[in-house]
Homo-oligomer: A and B are copies of this chain.
Amino acid sequence: MMSNSTTAYQQHDHRRCLETALAQAKSRCIARKARLTPIRESVLHLLWQSHRPLGAYKIIEQLSAASGKRVLPPTVYRALDFLLELGLIHRLATLNAYIGCPFPDSAHSDYFLLCRECGSVAECSADNVNQAIVSTAERAGFLVESQTVEILGLCTPCREKNQITHSDVTAQQEADE
Contacts and interface: CB of A to CB of B under 8 A. Distances in A.
Interface string A1-39: 101011001000000000000000000000000000000
Interface of A is mostly: mixed
A159 interface: yes
A21 B124 CA distance: 36
A67 B71 CA distance: 43
Interface residues of A, number: 41
Nearest to A159: B143
A94 interface: yes
8 tightest A-B CB contacts, nearest first? A141-B156, A5-B140, A132-B132, A93-B93, A145-B153, A126-B136, A129-B132, A143-B154
